[in-house]
Amino acid sequence: MGKTYDKKALTLDEQADLLLARGLLANRAVLIERLRTVNYYRLSGYLYPFRQLDDTYISGTTFDAIWRRYNFDRRLRMLLLDAIERLEIAVRSRVVHHFVMAHGPFGYLRQKNLPGFKKRSLFRRMTKVLKHWSRLERAKPPEFTFWIRKLKNEKARARNEFVIHFETKYGGAHKFLPLWMAAELMTCETTQMLARAIEPNLLRNAANDFGFPDQQLLSWTKAIFTLRNSCAHHARVWNRVVGVKPSIPGKNKNPLWHVAPGFAPDRVGILLTVCNHWLQKVNPASNWKTRLFALFDEYPDIPVAEMGLPAAWRSHPLWL
C-alpha cells in the first residue's frame, strides 16, 4: 500500500511565505498576486532547477528570474503552436490530396484503401471480445472502426458552414463528408492515423512533396503533434525532456544535420530546428525564424543549454 498524501491546502499568503522561507527573493505582495493567477504547483516547475536537497533555493534565486522563464515559455509555446498549425495543415493537405486522387472523395470509407490499419483475424476478434466480456468491459474496436467513429463524432460536433451546407444538399445520400471536407475537422490524432494507414506509395508521394523519406515524415509528424498537445495544454516545454523524439535524417544525404555541435535529441531545441527546417519547405517566405530569434533576444538570460541548443545554435548551418 502506498503512502497517504496528507499535505494540507495552503492559502495564498501561506504559499508565498513558504516560498520566501525557502529562500526565494521576492516582493511578498507581488508574489501573492502572481500566485492568484498562476497555480503554485505550476510555478514550482520553473523553480525546480533552483531547488536544493534540503528544499531551499540556491542563494540569489529571484522571483523576477523565475517569472521571466515562465513568460518566455508561454511565448515560446505560442510560436510553436503557430509553426505546428502550418505544418499540420500542410501534412493533411498533401496526404489527403494523394489519397483522393487515387481513391476518390469517399474512398476512405473502404478499409481496403487504408491497409496500414491493423486487422484482426476472426479468432483474435472473438478472443478479444470474450476476454473483455469476462471483465465486463467493452472490447476495443479495430483501428479502422475506431478512426471512422472519430471522424463521425467530429462531424456531429461541427457547426461549420461547409458542414451545414453539405448536410442540407447531400445529407440524404451521404452520411460522411468527402475526405477533403472531413480533413478540415480532423484532430492531430486522426490526421496522424490517416497518414500511417494510407498505401506506402501514397505516403511516399506525400513525403516527396516535402523532400522527405516517408518514415521521416511519419516520425516528424508524430513528434510535432505530441509537442502541440503539450503546448495546447499549457505544459512547460522550454527545458522539459520531450516524450517523442524526431528521427534525424541520414548523414549521407543530409550532412548538415550532423554538423557538430549538434542538438540534444530529447529537448525542445531539436523540435524548434525541425519546425524551422520544415517551414522553409512549406513557406520559404515565413518570418517565423525572425520572430523566434526576437524572442531569444528579448530573453538573453534564458540558458539555451537546458533547451538542448548549442551556445552558437543560430550560426549552425541548419539555422542559416
pLDDT at 122: 52
The answer to whether 92 and 186 have CB atoms below 8 angstroms apart is: yes
Q: How many helices (H) does the chain have, and how many strands (E)?
A: 13, 0
Distance CA 209, CA 101 (A): 15
Distance CA 263, CA 244 (A): 15
pLDDT at 5: 86
Q: Which of 247, 285, 294 is nearest to 266 (CA)?
A: 247
- pLDDT tens-digit series, residues 88-124: 999 999 999 999 999 999 999 999 999 999 875 555 5
Delimit the domains of the chain by residue range.
Answer: 12-61, 71-319
Cβ density class 297-316: b for 16+ within 10 Å, e for less: eeeeebebebbbbbeebeeb
All three cell numbers of 250, joined, read 541520414
pLDDT at 141: 83
- What is the DSSP secondary-structure string of 233-283? TT---TTPPPSSPPPPPPTTT-GGGGPSS---TTSHHHHHHHHHHHHHHH-
- pLDDT tens-digit series, residues 247-271: 999 999 999 999 999 999 999 999 9
**100 exposure class (CB count in 10 Å sphere: 0-12, 13-18, 19+):** middle
pTM of model > 0.85: yes
- What is the DSSP secondary-structure string of 64-117? HHHHHHHHHHHHHHHHHHHHHHHHHHHHHHHHHHHHHHHH-TTGGGSGGG-TTS
pLDDT in single tens digits along all 320 residues of the chain: 788 888 899 999 999 999 999 999 999 999 999 999 999 999 999 999 999 999 999 999 999 999 999 999 999 999 999 999 999 999 999 999 999 999 999 999 999 999 999 875 555 555 555 555 555 555 678 999 999 999 999 999 999 999 999 999 999 999 999 999 999 999 999 999 999 999 999 999 999 999 999 999 999 999 999 999 999 999 999 999 999 999 999 999 999 999 999 999 999 999 999 999 999 999 999 999 999 999 999 999 999 999 999 999 999 999 99
Q: DSSP label at 120? A: -
